[in-house]
Amino acid sequence: MAAENDTSEGGRRLAVLGAGVMGAGIAALAVGHGIAVSLIDPDRRRLDEAPARIDRMVRTARLMNALPEGAVTAVVVTGASFAEIATVDDPGPVAVIEAVTEDADAKAKVLAEVSALVAPGTAIISNTSAIPIDELARATARPAELIGTHFMNPPYLIRTVEVIRGTHTGEATMDALRALLAALRREPIVVDDAPGFVTSRILHPMINDAVRVVAAGTASVESVDRLMQGCLGHPTGPLRTADLIGLDNLVDSLWVLHNRTGDEGCRPCDLLLEMVRTGRLGRKSGRGFYTYEGEQA
């Protein structure tokens, strides 16, 4: 990153697990606000590409006046594991944000590993769009230290964060997350735990229905989005939003909702499944419902 600046107390960093779209976006948000980040991902290619991607995100945030005036960009340290980035005098992270793929087993495995490694009292934050926090808490050593967030993409631009408090989440963990989000100039909206919480439970089935309308030939992609924007005030339209979310992530979230609620409206429609199968994942792959030349995340 641009500068070796660490404003965390005692040189401690925020640890972000996962260098994909959301992990990199959360890291960009943090370093843009002067908070150093340890970014961890076992995928070496993704890890090697992450610093340049984060730099681009920080530059975008600055151009859009989404960062504090005069803030110095903090450093990102990357590694395949906690052990790889640890030093003799490392006091450990101030908090850990897990941002791996939207798969309950994958998240549970990572959360179990990290909760066994970090010091007791460290807040562990699972960034998830649909998986219940109480379900994930069963994998952790100390369920009181787990809390959920649903940062919207791109997190370095969107200021509101859905916060999910599980039934076991402790007050100290809640306070730690509030302090972190305040440092990031984010507004937390706290909700109770349930599949999909609020935003995904409402938005993702609606996007699924929008795709069904296109698949049925009722309207084009552009017409659906323009109608939702012009008539109903949706800022980008559901299908452009789907491209931003990532169609693979959307399908994963819909399956979580379908499997945990039984709502058939949450079963991913055939067109969505076919697009994911053929690699049309949205903005991050360069093509989804729209084409994004040279804009892959």
Q: Find where tokens 């972190």 sit.
A: 180
Please name the CATH architecture into which domain 199-285 falls.
Answer: Orthogonal Bundle (1.10)
| Whole-number pLDDT of residue 84 | 81
Question: What Å distances lie between residue 126 and 45, 51, 148, 163, 170, CA to CA?
Answer: 23, 22, 5, 10, 15
pLDDT at site 117: 92
Task: Return the CATH number of the domain spanning residue range 9-192.
Answer: 3.40.50.720
Query: Taking a C-beta distance cutoff of 8 angstroms, is the pair 26, 155 a contact?
Result: yes
Domain boundaries along the sequence of the chain: 9-192, 199-285
CB 122 within 8 A of CB 96: yes
Q: What is the pLDDT along the chain (297 residues), one digit of tens a residue?
A: 433 334 444 456 999 999 999 999 999 999 999 999 999 999 999 999 999 999 999 999 999 999 999 889 999 999 999 878 776 567 789 999 999 999 999 999 999 999 999 999 999 999 999 999 999 999 999 999 999 999 999 999 999 999 999 999 999 999 999 999 999 999 999 999 999 999 999 999 999 999 999 999 999 999 999 999 999 999 999 999 999 999 999 999 999 999 999 999 999 999 999 999 999 999 999 999 999 986 555
Query: Tell me, what's the pLDDT at 4?
Result: 38
pLDDT of residue 88: 56
Q: Tell me the C-alpha distance between 69 and 101, whole Å.
A: 33
Residue 98, C-beta contacts closer than 8 angstroms, at least 6 positions apart = 17, 18, 107, 110, 111, 114, 124, 125, 126, 127
- Active-site residue list: 150
Query: Are 9-192 and 199-285 in the same CATH fold?
Result: no
